[in-house]
Chain A
Amino acid sequence: MAGGGSLGSGEKQRRGKEGKRKKKHRVGFRLDMTPLVDITFLLLTFFMLTTSMITPQTMELSVPPDLDVPIEVKQSELLTIRVRFDGKLFFNMGTDEPSKVTLEELKKLVVAQNVALKNKCIVVLKSSGEAPYGAVVQILDKLNSAEQSIIRGLKDAGINERNRKFTVAPFEKKDAEDIGGL
């Protein structure tokens, strides 16, 4: 780094003054690096403090394109999860009465139902328009994390394939009435 700045050219220019000034021998040339280090540290601290290492993550979701053909499903294989306006969860199988669940219970329930119905369970998520988006994403996240347990459960039951059947359905007035008083 600390190489001599002028080796050849400098001597030629000063030829005239050669007699007066004694040529300094450049051995162990030293450069004061303090200002350089100062600035470098300043920049380093700036970049270190402004860099955010956490990049946002994403959760992928695929929805079917708009189909006008309704798909018929068996009520007994339908697991409905409903989110009320205040973010509270309700779940019911088929035409059963909806009951209140927490996020943690929901994961166990979904795993149990999927394994019991041997891959045929269809999970429907219906969310009230007033529910906070964060609550809905939390459910999706829980369902995603339940997948591993489901696959393990199915493997124990002798099924090696997993067909995930999950859908988001619009929240209707009837849904609001069903869970409104609970």
Chain B
Amino acid sequence: MSKIKKKRVGFVLDMTPLVDITFLLLTFFMFTAKFKNEADNQQKFVIKRPQTQADTAKLPEKDLVTIKIGIDTVSKDTAYYLSMLNEQDVASLADAMQRINFPGANPESVVYKISDSLWLGKIIERARIVNPKARFALDADRRVKYRYIEVAINEMRKKRATTFNFVTEKKTGGL
């Protein structure tokens, strides 16, 4: 009883360490965040990737040509969607596609929707010319019929793109 209880009026807490850590985390998440690019925004389908075990490699972050094979959620038809990753490649490809009169090609084109193998072959050829170093990635839905994959592989093979990647997803749980 000898100590007089201090009245807690205008209680102040030192928030500096809290702010420090919060800013640290904030910067971390800000730098690691990856935003959807233009190609993803125009996508009208969801890709359920095939699941594999964890022994596979990571997707390259540049010099990449992605061929998505998806089933449209509305019309249920399968089509190829080709896009390039590097910004200068996107512009060069748009230019090249206009020159060969690809239907709907304009200087702002990012994704090219293709439904037949003839155009697929042509666009793969252009993509190869635009960036010969670029690797091909096949990002297909696991429900897609193998026929479509075979066509894409054959077209790539004809254009001498003999090494390519299948985009997969790590199997969660189980085996």
* A interface with B by C-beta (< 8 Å): 1-2, 30, 33-34, 36-37, 40-41, 43-44, 47-48, 50-52, 54-66, 83, 127-138, 140-141, 144-145, 168, 170
Contact = CB atoms under 8 A, between A and B. Distances in A.
B150 A170 contact: yes
B12 interface: yes
Interface of B: 12, 15-16, 18-19, 22-23, 25-26, 29-30, 32-34, 48-59, 69, 137, 139-150, 153, 156-158, 160, 162-170
Contacts of A50: 33
Q: How would you classify the secondary structure of chain A's contact residues: helix, strand, loop or mixed?
A: mixed
Given A44-B29, A54-B170, A137 B142 contact: yes
Given A51-B29, A132-B144, 19 more contacts: A33-B16, A51-B32, A51-B34, A56-B169, A57-B52, A57-B54, A57-B58, A59-B165, A59-B168, A60-B166, A64-B162, A83-B146, A128-B146, A129-B145, A130-B146, A134-B50, A136-B146, A137-B168, A138-B51
B31 to A, nearest CB: 9
B101 to A, nearest CB: 27
Contacts of A2: 16
Given A43-B26, A55-B59, A56-B167, A133 B157 contact: no
Nearest to A41: B22
Contacts of B52: 57, 59, 137-138, 141, 144
Contacts of B29: 44, 47-48, 51
A-B residue pairs, 10 tightest by C-beta: A134-B142, A129-B147, A47-B29, A58-B165, A137-B50, A141-B52, A134-B50, A57-B56, A59-B166, A62-B163
Contacts of B158: 66
Secondary structure call for the B interface? mixed
Contacts of A127: 146, 150
Given A65-B157, A131-B146, A134-B142, A33 B19 contact: yes
30 contacts: A33-B19, A36-B19, A37-B18, A43-B30, A44-B26, A47-B33, A48-B25, A48-B29, A51-B29, A51-B32, A52-B34, A56-B59, A56-B139, A57-B168, A58-B165, A60-B163, A61-B164, A63-B153, A63-B162, A65-B157, A66-B158, A128-B146, A130-B145, A131-B146, A132-B146, A134-B50, A136-B149, A138-B51, A141-B53, A144-B56
Contacts of A56: 49, 59, 139, 167-169
Nearest to A62: B163
B17 to A, nearest CB: 11
B174 to A, nearest CB: 12
Contact of B150 (A51, A64, A129, A145): A129
B22 A51 contact: no
B58 A55 contact: yes
Contacts of B51: 134, 138
